[in-house]
Amino acid sequence: MQLPEWLAELGKKRIASYPVEGFVYGMGPEKPKLMLVGEAPGETEIHNGIPFSGRAGVELMKFLERAGVSREEVYITSTVRSRPYKWGEKRTKDDEAVKRKYNRAPSAREILAHAPLLDYEIEQVDAPVIVTLGNIGLKRLCGPEMKVTEAHGRFLKRPVRRLQNLESSEYEWTEKEYVVFPTFHPASIFYNRQLLQLIHEDMDKLRIYLNGYVNDDC
Ligand code: URA
């Protein structure tokens, strides 16, 4: 699935006034086994244009392996396509302070700026399961009251949120129901190692579901 260039340009234009950099397209086959919705690209991704190719991506690939799928079989995208950053200071070995950019979570306005892009992908890819990674993708699709700590590991058959129209800043629910499977963002284990066990349990459920889905289809 190739995002139309006019839509990518619209997203770039709408996000241009915020502290973000780069632009990463979603990636994956036409009929993927599932669609992954992350948060936003990081430094590695904006340099090579490949979603989840940095440190979090290494962990994600291990999770996918546990779920029985490969990168080539899934469509990978994110809620925001540009890297949201904030300036911070880092001390060098010689104790010199140097300014550098750090990742941060995208704001509601940045999420809105790229909402038409994700809406388009959700509709066009029409994956049998949408796996949201972390709170940002989950709240964007299922509503701000959702929490990954409560919703992870469940298959939620439900409408998802999309922009009312291209000019609107309000969301509405799709008529169509999608299967959404929330789990934690792979980077979350860098801060809380205990989540690894929960993610493994989620991946085991996903594997069972995907096997069942494939069998039903045949
Ligand atoms: N986190 C995301 O959500 N997407 C990436 O591509 C990398 C990290």
CATH number for 128:
3.40.470.10
Q: Is the CB of 52 under 6 A from ligand 1?
A: yes
Answer whether residue 215 shows pLDDT above 70: no
Question: What is the CA(218)–ligand 1 centre distance, in A?
Answer: 33
Give residue 218's pLDDT band: very low, low, confident or very high (50, 70, 90): very low
Mean pLDDT of 188-214: 94
d(CA 19, CA 40): 13
- Best mutation site among 20, 35, 45 for ligand 1, i.e. most ligand atoms within 8 A of its Cβ? 45
Q: Is the CB of 60 under 6 A from ligand 1?
A: no
Helix H segments across 68-184? 108-113, 115-125, 135-142, 148-151
Mean pLDDT of 5-19: 98
Structurally, how many domains does the chain consist of?
1
Give residue 216's pLDDT band: very low, low, confident or very high (50, 70, 90): very low
- Output the DSSP codes for 124-158: HH--S-EEEESHHHHHHHH-TT--HHHHTT--EEE
Mean pLDDT of 130-139: 98
Answer whether residue 64 shows pLDDT above 90: yes
pLDDT at res. 93: 86
Rounded percentage of the chain residues whose pLDDT exceeds 90? 92
Mean pLDDT of 141-159: 98
Q: Is the CB of 56 under 6 A from ligand 1?
A: yes
Q: Which residues in 194-212 are b (16+ Cβ under 10 Å) and which e?
A: ebbebbeebbebbbebbee
Cα distances from 36 to residues 70, 74, 99, in angstroms, run 12, 7, 33
pLDDT at res. 213: 59
d(CA 107, CA 134): 15
Question: What is the CA(50)–ligand 1 centre distance, in A?
Answer: 9
- Best mutation site among 78, 80, 104, 191 for ligand 1, i.e. most ligand atoms within 8 A of its Cβ? 78
Answer whether residue 166 shows pLDDT above 60: yes
The residue segments making up the domain with residue 81 are 5-217
Mean pLDDT of 8-30: 98
CB 153 within 8 A of CB 205: yes
Answer whether residue 217 shows pLDDT above 70: no
Q: Which atom of ligand 1 is nearest to the CA of 76?
A: 6
Mean pLDDT of 84-100: 93
CB 152 within 8 A of CB 6: no
